[in-house]
């Protein structure tokens, strides 16, 4: 059952469906977690998120705070529904951020919440620190070049998965990203689906959002007036796989554009 309108109504201060932005649908039987700078569809059965959704504005790509967070269970979750720090100790898996810590250097609170275990999936260290980190950096470059992005990211939790630790945390074999931007009056989007064995050029892992939806069973672009068009194709020239990224400097008194700003159509969350 689609819960798009429920999701929007449960987030005070956010835009409504008429605002025309791509909120993903909450997975059935999952929990909605609202953070300062992201929304999480959390799956207690797998002890991790189905997806994390957030807006990444060009103006947020500033180096104002260092990484400096502490991994910890999400206090909003029951102990039996959450991974614990001990599940990762000596496991051979990284505590892999879904929303990267590096996307939160504009704000200390946003940085700290990215270290909640509700924003973490077990990831192979080579994958997490290699091709996945490369894609994360490209997302920041594309947000900068396109003026902002909406991002949905998470593990593929289909099928029977191996588990790890005393809390039986599922071990995903694939991870995805869905990226959408607004160009004039139209939206453009692209999806990536990477196995944890991924290597080489990211071109082999890019696909339409529609194809990812078919594989994952998730719905990512609900809320767009041009959803069918945006999810059925992508323009490679918009997503330059050789793009470089550097942060803007942190200026005194910096705050992202307010919700009512005409330049902040990517902003989803109240400050």
Cite the beta strand spans of the chain per DSSP E. 31-34, 39-43, 48-57, 62-63, 94-97, 120-123, 148-155, 163-164, 169-170, 174-183, 186-195, 206-207, 248-249
Minimal CA–CA distance to 148: which of 102, 100, 180, 192? Answer: 180
> Which one of 46, 97, 187, 265 is the catalytic residue?
97
Q: Are 266 and 149 in contact (CB under 8 A)?
A: yes
CA 70 – CA 256 distance, rounded (Å)? 24
Q: Give the number of other Cβ atoms within 10 Å of residue 3's Cβ.
A: 17
Can 235 be counted among the known catalytic residues?
Answer: no
Query: Would you list the DSSP string of 136-170?
Result: HHHHHHHHHHHTEEEEEEEE---S---EETTTTEE
| Residues tagged active-site | 97
């Amino acid at each position: 059952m689609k819960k798009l309108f429920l999701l929007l109504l449960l987030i005070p201060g956010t835009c409504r469906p008429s605002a025309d932005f791509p909120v993903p649908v909450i997975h059935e039987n999952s929990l909605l977690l609202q953070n300062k700078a992201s929304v999480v569809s959390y799956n207690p059965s797998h002890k991790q998120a189905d997806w994390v959704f957030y807006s990444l504005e060009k103006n947020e790509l500033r180096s104002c705070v260092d990484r400096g967070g502490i991994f910890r269970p999400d206090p909003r979750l029951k102990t039996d529904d959450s991974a614990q720090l001990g599940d990762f100790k000596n496991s051979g898996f990284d505590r892999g951020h879904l929303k990267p810590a590096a996307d939160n250097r504009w704000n200390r609170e946003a940085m700290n919440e990215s270290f909640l275990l509700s924003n973490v999936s077990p990831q192979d260290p080579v994958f997490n620190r290699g091709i996945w980190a490369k894609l994360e950096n490209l997302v920041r470059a594309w947000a900068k070049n396109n003026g902002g992005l909406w991002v949905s990211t998470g593990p593929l939790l289909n099928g029977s998965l191996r588990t790890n630790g005393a809390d039986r945390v599922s071990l995903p074999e694939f991870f995805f990203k869905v990226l959408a931007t607004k160009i004039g009056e139209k939206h453009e989007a692209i999806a990536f689906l990477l196995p944890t064995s991924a290597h080489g050029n990211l071109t082999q892992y890019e696909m339409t959002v529609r194809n990812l939806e078919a594989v994952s069973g998730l719905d990512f672009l609900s809320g767009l007036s041009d959803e069918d068009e945006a999810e059925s194709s992508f323009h490679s020239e918009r997503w330059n796989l050789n793009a470089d990224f550097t942060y803007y400097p942190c200026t005194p008194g910096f705050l992202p554009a307010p919700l009512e700003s005409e330049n902040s159509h990517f902003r989803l969350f109240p400050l």
